[in-house]
A and B are shown apart, each in its own frame.
Chain A
Amino acid sequence: MYPPRFAYEAPRSLDQAQALLAEYGDEAKVLAGGQSLVPLLKLRFAAPAMLVDINNVPDLEYHRTASDGSLRVGALCRHADLERSTLLAQFPVMASAAPLVADPVVRHRGTLVGSVCHADPQGDWSAVLLALDASIVAVGPEGRRTIPMAEFVLGPFTPALRPGEIAIEAVIPPPQHQPAGSYFKLERRVGDFATAGAAVAVEMDGSRVTRAGIALTGVGTLGTRATAAEEALTGHELTDGSIAEAADAAAESANPQSDHRGSAQFKRHVVRTFVSRALHRVLDAPAGKAA
C-alpha cells in the first residue's frame, strides 16, 4: 500500500527522458499510465531507483491513421480513448478488445503501449497486436527502431527493449481487404486477467480469407501465435469446416498451465471455442458487413 522510496523525474522531452534512462540504466523504470507499475510499487514487488514519468512528454497521447492507412497509437494514448474511437472500425479485433481491458476506471489511465511493454502473458493487447502483425516503435541511445510484435516479448514481463530505450508508438498495419474478427476473453469478473483469450483478425475478400491473424492470451509464457490455425484459413473459403480446423489448430498451439483459474485442458478447450465463435461471427455476418 506504501511504495518504497525512489527518485522521480518528469522530463518534458523524449531526449531528456532518454538521458535519464541512460544515466540510471536498469535501475530506472518508465512510468506511463502506471496501472501495472504503481500496483507493483505498492506491493513492493518493484523497487526502481528512478522513475521516469513520460506523461509530460508532449505529443504522445495520439492515436491516428497515418497516410499509409496504418493505425498509430502513441505511448500516452489511454485504453479509454481507443474504446471510444471511431478509427478502430478498420481494426474490429481492437474495437472488441478495448472494452475488455482491465476495468473502466483503469482504462482511463492505462495505455496500450505501456500494457504491451509490461509483457504480462495474460495481457490482452499483446495478443491483439500479435494477431494484427503490429510493431512497436522504440527510441533509444542507438536511435529509433521498429520491433515486430512477434519479437517484442522475450518472456513473461520481459519486453525486447534495450537499456535506455522507450517504446513510443504502436503501429498497426492497414488491412488490405475487408477486415473482420473479434477478441474473446474468459474472465472471472470484470478487471480479471484472462483465464484464456483469443484474438482473431481476418481479412476477407468476399467469402475468402486473404489474411488470418490468430493470437492467444494466457495460455503460454510468451504471446502465442496460432500459426497453424492461420494457415488453415489463409487463402481458403471460410466454411464450417475450415473454422473447425482452425479452432482445433489454435487449441493445439496453446500451451496453457493448470492453475486456480482452471485446468490446462479447460483453457485449451476455451481457446478452441473462442476461435470458433469469432470465426463463426465473421461467417454469419451479412455480406459486406463483416463482424
Chain B
Amino acid sequence: MTAVDERKIGGLGTSRKRVEDDRFIRGKGNYVDDIVLPGMLHMEILRSPVAHARIKSIDTSRAWEVPGVHLVLTGEMAATRNLAWMPTLSYDTQAVLATDKVRFQGQEVAVVVADDPYIAKDACELIDVEYEPLPALVTPEQAIAEGAPVIRDDKAGQDDNLIYTWEVGDKDGTDRAFEQADVISKLRLHYPRSHPSPIEPCGSVADFNRATGKLTVYMTTQAPHIVRAAVAMIAELPEHMIRIVAPDIGGGFGNKVPVYPGYVCSILCSILLERPVKWIEDKTGNLISTGFARDMYLDSEMALSKDGKILGVRIRADADHGAFYADAQPSKFKIGLLHSTFACYDIPNAHLMARGVYTNKAPGGVAYRCSFRVTEAMFFQERMMHAAANDLGMDQAEFRRRNLVRDDQFPYRTPFGFLLDSGQYHKCLEVGLKAIDYDNFREQQKQARARGRLLGLGISTMTEPLGAGNSREFDILGIKMFDSAELRVHPTGKALLRIGSKTQGQGHETTFAQIVSHELGIPADDIVVEHGDTDTAPFGMGTYASRSTPVAGAATAMVARKIRAKARAIAAHLLEASEEDVEWELGRFYLRSSPERGVTIQECAMAAYGNMPDGMEPGLEHHAYYDPPNMTWPFAVYIATVEVDPETGVWDVLKVVAVDDCGVRINPMIVEGQIMGGLTEAYAMSSMQFQTYDAEGNCIGSNYMDYLLPSAWETPGFELHSEVVTPSPHHPIGAKGIGECAAVGGPAAFVNAVMDAISHTGVRNIDMPLLPDRVWEALNQRRDVSGAPPVRAED
C-alpha cells in the first residue's frame, strides 16, 4: 500500500467537474420559485410610484373584494404586530410597509395574498393610496444642503440627512506629506449606482405551522443563519422554532444578504393565515427596491515626489445610502473596508474622511461581489494611480513598480491599519506586462495614433482583504464573523460534510469535498456536502465578501484534521502500536517501523463504529469553528487594451489579461470561472451597467431594457494567468479568497484603457459607465464627463 494519489480522488488542485451541475443541466435544480407546498398562497407587493410623499390614506376595500384574495396587508396592520419597521444589518431601521411616508420609488406600501399571483396582482392594482408629494432628494449634495427636508423624520433626533461621518488614518502626518510634495495630483470620481442583479430575483416561501409553532422559510439568502437571528429579533419568534432554508440560489453577488420587506411580509402573512405564502419578486421590484451597490463620490489627492514615490493620500468619500442605511457589513466599519484603498502600495501616510447620507433612493450599499466597499476603494486607487502617473509624465507600469509593496516588506502594515501578510506583487505585474506585450503595444499605439486610430492600455493592480473576519474586528449585529463545519465519516468510509456558508453558484458542494479529500484521502465523490438549512447546517455567517474558502474552507480543513486525529488513535489501536509510532500519508496510517503495515482511513472509519479502543467514544464525527487571525490578501493585475472609435465613442476590447495570485487553488477550473465572471461584471460596470435617478426620484435602470447587462456578444474573451502562487500564511491549506477580485480590480483596467486611448485630448476622467455618448462627448468637447448619466429632457 502507498498513499492515495490526490489527483485521482478529486483532491486539492484538481479541476474536478462540479457535482451541482448534474441537476442544473437537467432542469432539476430546486430554486425557491420551484417550491410548492400544499395549500400555498401567493403574495404580491404594491410599491410606491413616487420617491417621497406623505401617505394620506390607503383604501384597500376594493382589493378585498376580488375573488381569491385572502389578505390585504398594510403598514398600519403590520404595526399592530410591531412589524411596520424592522432593524437593518447596519443598526438602522427600515420600513417593512410604509405607514407615515414613502421615501423612495418602489418602496413597499401594501401586500396582497391570493390564490395565485395573477389575482394578487389584480388586487394590488385596486388599492387606492393617496400621496401628498414631497420634494425628492437624489444626490448627497441635495441631501446635505441647508434646509433640505429631513427624509428620516421617523427617527427621534435625526434633524438632517447625515447618517455618519467616519475617519481613519493619520491626518497630521498626511498634511505634512502634502507640504513636502513636489507634485500634487487630484481626482474626483463618481462610482455610479449599480445593482448586483442576479438573474433570479428574491423570493421566499414562508410556512408557519400553528400546530408545532414552527416557522419554516425557504428563501433566496446568501446567509441563512444571519436571517434566522434577524427573524428571531424582528418577528419575536424563538430562534429554535425558526428554520431558514436556502435552496439553490440563482446568483447572489451580495444582493441576497440583507433581509427585505418582502421576506418579512411573507412570514407575517403566513403567520396570520396559517398557510404557506410564496413571494417571488419581479425584476423591477428587485432592481428598484433591493440592495444596490456603490453610488459613491470620491474626492482626493495624492502627494508625490518628482521621482514617482507616493508620499501620502487624502480621500474624501460621500456615500449615498438611499432612504435606509441597510448595508450588510461589519458593524465597526461604517463605510465598509473603503480604507483598504492603496493597500498594495507602500505609502507612508494616508487619511480618509467619509460621510454617509440619506436620499430618496432605494436603500442598500451592499457588498456587490466585493468585500464591503473594496470595489470603490480599488477603482479609486487605480484611477488615481493612472492620473498621477500622467501628471508625473511617468510610464504607467514604471510608476506602479516604484510604489508596489516589495516581497521583503511582508508583513506590511498599511497606513490605515491593515496587515498584509504575503504576496509577490512585482512578479504579478511583470507577468501581466509580458502577457500583454507591453512595450510592443506602446509602439503599436504610437503608430496607430499617427494614423488617427485610438488605442489604449489600462493597468489595474489590486489587493483586497477577503475572508471576514477576525472576531476582534468583525461582527454583524454583534455576531462575530467566524464560520464552522461538521464532518461525519460513515462506517464504510463515506462522509457527510455540513458547512455554514451557502453557495449561489460558487460550487461549494464540489470544492469543500476536495478540501476533505486533501486532508483525509477520502475520494471527493465519497463526500456529500450539505448546506443552507439552518436546522442541519452548523452556524455560519454566509457566503459573501469572498469569505467561504478563507473561513468556512478553513473550518473544513480543521474539522477534517480533528477527524484525522481521532482516526490516528483508532489506527494505533488497530495496528497495536502507540500513536507516536503511527505515521500519516494521504488516506492511510502506517507504522513508522514497518511502512507496509497500515490501515486506510476507511478501515479506521469502520473501526470507529465496530472496533474502537476501550474507553473511546464511538463514531467518527466532529465540528470545528474557524476564527481567522487575519484576512486573506489575494493580489491581481488586470490589463486591458482597447480601441476607441472617435466618431461614435464606441470602444472595443482588444485583449484582457488577468494575473491572479489567490494562493493555493482548490479547484482551478472553478477559480477560473470565478475570475471570468468577475471580469465580466467589471466590463459591465465600466461600459454599460448603471442606475440613475431623475430629479423626481424616478429610477432609470428599473428593468433589463435600461439596466444593461452584457451578453455573450459584447463580453470580451479573457486570458488568465495562474503562475504566481503565494499561499496564505495563516489559512490551513494556504488558500485566499478569489470570488470577487476581478469584479473589484477589473473596472479600472477598462476605464484606464479608454482614458489612455484618448489621452491626447487632455481629458482626465470620464465617470462610468463609459457609454458611447459619454466617450464621444469627452473626445469631442475635450472635457471631463462627470457624474451619473443625466436624464436630460432637452439640450
Contacts and interface: CB of A to CB of B under 8 A. Distances in A.
Contact of B773 (A1, A190, A261): A261
A190 B711 contact: yes
B339 interface: no
Contacts of B526: none
A130 to B, nearest CB: 22
Interface string A237-279: 0000000000000000000011111111110011001000000
6 contacts: A2-B117, A3-B118, A4-B125, A190-B714, A258-B795, A266-B773
A264 B794 contact: yes
Contacts of A5: 122
A236 interface: no
Given A44-B125, A263-B777, A188 B771 contact: yes
A103 B791 CA distance: 26
Contacts of B677: none
Interface of A: 1-5, 44, 103, 186, 188-193, 195, 257-266, 269-270, 273
A189 B688 contact: yes
B285 to A, nearest CB: 9
A216 B559 CA distance: 67
B650 interface: yes
Nearest to B689: A189
Contacts of B780: 269
Contact of B792 (A3, A4, A258): A258
B385 to A, nearest CB: 29
Contacts of A4: 122, 125
Nearest to A191: B711
B334 to A, nearest CB: 31
Sorted nearest first, the 6 A-B pairs with minimum C-beta distance are: A262-B773, A258-B792, A273-B647, A1-B282, A2-B121, A2-B118
Nearest to B281: A1
B221 to A, nearest CB: 22
A258 B709 contact: no
Given A189-B688, A266-B776, 13 more contacts: A1-B117, A44-B121, A186-B648, A189-B711, A189-B713, A192-B708, A195-B773, A261-B773, A263-B777, A263-B795, A266-B772, A266-B773, A266-B777
Contact of A189 (B121, B282, B709, B789): B709
A189 B708 contact: yes
A266 B125 CA distance: 40
B792 A263 contact: yes
A269 B649 CA distance: 11
A257 B771 contact: no
A261 B773 CA distance: 7
A234 B244 CA distance: 72
A270 B121 CA distance: 42
Interface residues of B, number: 35
Contacts of B795: 258, 263-265
Given A2-B118, A258-B794, A189 B773 contact: no
Contacts of B709: 189
A258 B708 contact: no
Contact of A260 (B649, B713, B714, B790): B790
Contacts of B772: 186, 188, 195, 262, 266
A188 B706 CA distance: 9
Contacts of A257: 794
Contacts of A266: 649, 772-773, 776-777
- The residue among A103, A192, A259 with the most chain B CB atoms within 10 A of its own CB is A259
Contacts of B121: 1-2, 44
B607 to A, nearest CB: 57
B669 to A, nearest CB: 28
B793 interface: yes
Contacts of A264: 794-795
A259 B791 contact: yes
A188 to B, nearest CB: 5
B397 interface: no
B700 interface: yes
A281 to B, nearest CB: 14
B710 interface: yes
Interface in B65-114: none
B445 interface: no
A148 B714 CA distance: 37
Interface in B407-421: none
B403 to A, nearest CB: 36
A1 B789 CA distance: 28
A79 to B, nearest CB: 16
Given A5-B122, A186-B650, A258-B793, A269 B708 contact: no
A105 B789 CA distance: 30
B60 interface: no
Contacts of B692: 260
Nearest to B119: A2
Nearest to A1: B282
Contacts of B792: 258-260, 263
B770 to A, nearest CB: 11
Given A262-B771, A270-B648, A190 B713 contact: yes
Most A Cβ at <10 Å: residue of B118, B709, B773: B773
B714 A269 contact: no
A260 B792 CA distance: 6
Nearest to A256: B795
B551 to A, nearest CB: 36
A260 B791 contact: yes
Nearest to B646: A273
